[in-house]
Amino acid sequence: MRVNAAEQANSLETASKIATVVNLFKSEFPDARADLKPWANDPDTQELVDPESIDIGFHLPGFSRLFQSRSILLQIRFHEDALTHERRAIGAEVAGFDHRGKRWWLSTVDHWAFEGEGCPAIEVGEKLRSFLKEVLAVFN
């Protein structure tokens, strides 16, 4: 279930937080190009829309040996408290993709370890972990 960041930017506060997240990523990885609409707008994809997530894509200029991918997908997951209606980030995940599909992923929900094939270089992995901590701080 996924929702494009562009569709979630329905308030000045949320739009500002999304822009902050994009700037945080680009400050660490300046060659990346942000994509606020990483999902297709076809009926099959839209059927999976999750109003409790924000998804942002980052495309690298080509295949990156350091990232072991061509594109990175960030998914920020939220939960809304039924009593207070307060929405807060409960986790985030980054995943690396190439022409074969998803190659690796890192989630804050489990043990913060990379899984999959061809994981990023150690220094990129550390920067991605730090980035995810900052993402959660921005939304909480």
Q: What tens digit of pLDDT does each residue of 64-90 get? A: 999 999 999 999 998 888 888 788 899
Q: How would you classify residue 89: left for phi > 0, otherwise alpha for psi between -120 and 50, otherwise beta?
A: beta
What pLDDT is attached to residue 111? Answer: 85
Q: Which domain holds residue 47?
A: 5-139
Closest CA to 5 of 28, 23, 21: 21
What pLDDT is attached to residue 53? Answer: 84
**CB-based contact 79:91 (threshold 8 Å):** no
Q: How far apart are CA 105 and CA 96, in angstroms?
A: 6
How far, CA to CA in Å, does 53 sit from each of 29, 95, 106, 118, 123? 23, 15, 16, 26, 27
Q: Which amino acid is at 15?
A: A
pLDDT over 80 (residue 10):
no
Whole-model pTM? 0.85
**What are the pLDDT digits (tens) for 87-137?**
889 999 999 999 988 999 999 987 899 999 889 999 999 999 999 999 999
